[in-house]
Amino acid sequence: MACARFTAAVAFGLLFAADSPAGGQSELPRTYIGKPTTAEITSADLMTRLYIFADDSMMGREVGTIYHLKSTAYIEGEVRKLGLVPAGEDGGYFQTLPVYRYYADSISTLQIGGKSMVFGADFFPYATAEHRISLDGVPVVYGGVLTDSATWLPAEDAAGKIVFFSVPSTSTPARNFQFSARSRFARSPLVLVGSLERIPQSVRPFFAQRMVFLKSDAPLLGPPTTFITTNVARTLFGTLDGLVAGMAGMALSGTIVLHRAQAPARNVVAILPGSDPALRGEYVAIGAHTDHIGFNNKPVDHDSTRIFNMITRPQGEDSPPAPTLTPAQALRFHAMLDSVHALHPARLDSINNGADDDGTGTVSVLEIAEAFAKANTRPRRSILFVWHAGEEKGLWGSQYYTDHPTVPRDSIVAQLNMDMVGRGSATDITGETRSGEFTHGGPGYLQLVGSRRLSTELGTLIESVNRRAHPALIFDYSMDANGHRQNIYCRSDHYEYARYGIPIAFLTTGGHSDYHQVTDEPQYIDYEHLAQVAKFVQAVAAEVANLDHRIAVDKPKPDPSARCVQ
């Protein structure tokens, strides 16, 4: 037991270790207030900024929430103080995204034969647009089995009618239930799906309220869907046995009320003008994403979760869940948990702070902006700083910015993207090779993705800058392999620039067991290493900005509308 406790304590020390810019202690504090930042990129400045940006008060910075507004307000205030030129909309630093929240109003009613159904229990509308649908006098017909299109009602028989679909008990209760404006049911005012009682309570909030990024090329949706229970369906049709498409049900009455409201979602965009009048109309873009995945209402023990994931999910969300521990893992888990609880009591945690993802990238871009803004000389080309929103939802902010750039798209000569750049220790499993072997971090560790996919010159330049750096970084290109199952090239904001033929480099220190977990907090960041990466990115940006020519694109440009393939 003593040996196990000693081993656990050593492992726990490695797990929680991080170099501190203030005092060198092995474990950083949970909360911290630092000194004002300086012109130089330092570990202390980055620590000051990250403890603000990834604080519990930001509640996980999920796009579409007031906490996203709070986090982007911090960035806007910082770039304003630096005197950077606003490059958002209407002369400001923000670029608003077309993100909307759709939700059903509980004043919605449904009656069958004079009997009222209960909102949320008997029926549950799924909001896809802003509607107020009066159901009085609208006939109801059976449309068929939702999972078998061969049983569906013809288009001419569905027009103007409420269409009900049954769902086999062996099928997923809510799948492919939304029809487009080009479907055979486009002229139906409402679709009913009889599977409500099988939709888990934990899933229903996602149906009650949904956030949508309205792409300009998004297909138009057809009729809204309302889920009903099979008991309600039996009331409508008398039985669910032997139904044939087109059979009429009882009359429905009531009103379905659906709402749409703009959700908070905005990029922050600022420019440092270049010093060369002939080149300042060209831009080197530096970016990161500000959003994370928010919080939940089911607190867990922070330390227990962290140790469990270290043992069973070494890449956090990128590792499959492990519902149980083996006997050896259980022994290790309890020994480590006993060790940490001897140091401090258990604490509940429900906030996904996103310190590394992507707090580290966000504050690094701020530090780089401060270093450029306060330097005695400026680079020849302009530097375009974009803090993207909605990366966690599917690259919303970077897609919108590159589709609607606030500078001419062709004037962006390169984009450098940082996402998760604060870890990469020897105890972190940072990714995998093509053959499935785990990769580990270490001193100076940095993954590079995409740096030669459009421009050989950009990849060569990055290597050249690193050779002159002291100390140099150790590059890992294994995650950049074509066909890699983790598909990193397509999973962060750089790709939205690359799809338009803009040379990119994605820089990251890779994955770890805290990825997309409540345990991704500022106290676990290696600030010295983070400063090394930020200084390197600044040096690369300056090198690109000072070239006497544009970075050459010597690889085929992709189709901007095509699906990304690594």
Residues 166 and 63 in one domain: no
The CA distances from residue 287 to 64, 77, 451, 459, in Å, are 20, 17, 15, 18
Contact 496, 300 (CB under 8 A): no
465-492 pLDDT, tens digit each: 999 999 999 999 999 999 999 999 999 9
- The predicted-structure confidence for 20-45, as pLDDT tens digits, reads as follows 333 333 579 999 999 999 999 999 99
Q: What is the pLDDT of residue 18?
A: 34
Alpha-carbon distances of 537 from 12, 113, 159, 446, rounded to whole Å: 32, 68, 59, 11
Query: d(Cα 79, Cα 270) in Å, to the nearest integer?
Result: 7
Chosen domain end from 236, 262, 288: 262
Which residues sit opposite 85 in a β-bridge? 271
Helix, strand and coil percent figures for the chain, each rounded to 5: 30, 20, 45
Does residue 16 fall inside a structural domain?
no
In a domain, residue 556? The reply is no
**Do 50 and 152 belong together in one domain?**
no
Interval 259-274 mean pLDDT: 97
The sheet with strand 140-145 has its strands ordered as 123-126, 225-228, 191-194, 162-166, 140-145
Residue 7: per-residue pLDDT = 29
User: Angle at Cα 86 formed by Cα 81 and Cα 87, nearest 5°?
Assistant: 145
Which helix (H) or strand (E) is 496 found in, with range? helix 494-498
Statement to judge: residues 273 and 414 lie in one domain: yes
pLDDT value of position 219: 67
% the chain with pLDDT above 90:
87
CATH assignment at residue 236: 3.50.30
pLDDT of residue 17: 38
Residue 21 lies in a domain: no
CA–CA distance, 156 with 11 (Å, rounded to integer): 68
Examine the domain organization and report whether 290 and 159 are in the same domain.
no
* Residue 248 and residue 203 share a domain: yes
In whole angstroms, give the CA distance from residue 83 to residue 373: 8
Residue 1, pLDDT above cutoff 50: no
Residue 22 has what pLDDT? Answer: 34
Q: Is 394 helix (H, G, I), strand (E, B) or coil?
A: helix
pLDDT band at residue 435, thresholds of 50, 70 and 90?
confident
Query: What's the burial of 241, exposed, middle or buried (CB within 10 Å: 0-12/13-18/19+)?
Result: exposed
User: Which H or E element spans position 453?
Assistant: none
Range of the domain at 242: 101-262
Read off the pLDDT band of 218 (50, 70, 90).
Answer: low
Give yes or no: residues 410 and 513 share one domain.
yes
Residue 52 lies in a domain: yes
Find the mean pLDDT for residues 241-259. 94
Q: Do 119 and 198 share a structural domain?
A: yes
pLDDT of residue 316: 96
pLDDT in tens, 6-20: 223 333 333 433 333
What Å distances lie between residue 236 and 122, 132, 492, CA to CA? 12, 22, 48
B/e letters for 82-107, b = 16+ CB within 10 Å, e = fewer, are bebebbbeeeebbbbbbbbbbbbeee
Residue 155 reports pLDDT greater than 80: yes
pLDDT number for residue 77: 98
Assigned domain for 50 exists: yes
Identify the weakest region by mean pLDDT among 23-32, 121-130, 202-211, 498-507. Answer: 23-32
Which of 240, 262, 284 finishes a domain?
A: 262
- % of the chain surpassing 70 pLDDT: 95
Question: Are 149 and 77 within one domain?
Answer: no
- pLDDT band at residue 217 using 50, 70 and 90 as cut-offs: low
Mean pLDDT of 529-551: 98
Q: Using the Cα atoms of residue 15, residue 19, residue 20 and residue 26 in order, give the sign of their dihedral.
A: positive
The stretch 189-200 carries a mean pLDDT of: 96
Q: At what angle do helices 527-546 and 361-373 cross, to 10 degrees?
A: 50
- pLDDT of 151 > 50? The answer is yes
pLDDT of 297-356, one tens digit each? 899 999 999 999 999 999 999 999 888 899 999 999 999 999 999 998 999 999 999 999
321 vs 493: which has the higher pLDDT = 493
- My answer on whether 64 and 111 are in the same domain is no
pLDDT (average), residues 405-434: 96
Residues 6+ apart with CB under 8 A from 218: none
How many other C-beta atoms can be found within 10 angstroms of the C-beta atom of residue 348? 10
Residue 413 lies in a domain: yes
Question: Does residue 59 form part of some domain?
Answer: yes
Same domain assignment for residues 465 and 503 = yes
The answer on 107 and 151 residing in a single domain is: yes
d(CA 7, CA 13): 10
Structurally, the chain folds into a number of domains equal to 2
Q: What is the C-alpha separation between 331 and 344, in angstroms, rounded?
A: 20
Integer Cα distance of 415 and 419 in angstroms: 13
Q: What is the structure's pLDDT at 220?
A: 75
Distance, in Å, from the CA atom of 362 to the CA atom of 72, rounded to the nearest integer, reads 10
The CATH number that applies at residue 438 is: 3.40.630.10
Residues in Cβ contact with 500 at an 8 Å cutoff, skipping those fewer than 6 apart: 402, 409, 557, 560
Any domain includes 557: no
Whether the link from the prior residue into 338 is cis, omega within 30° of 0, is no
Check if the beta carbon of residue 99 is closer than 8 Å to that of residue 214. yes
Rounded to 5 degrees, φ, ψ at 128 are -125, -10
**Residue 513 contacts residue 431 (beta carbons within 8 Å):** no
Q: Are residues 111 and 67 in the same domain?
A: no
Residue 520 phi, psi dihedral angles, 5° rounding: -80, 90
Give Cα 220 distance to the centre of its chain.
25
Q: What is the 3-state secondary structure (H, E, C) of 327-346?
A: HHHHHHHHHHHHHHHHHCCC
The answer to whether residue 532 scores a pLDDT higher than 50 is: yes
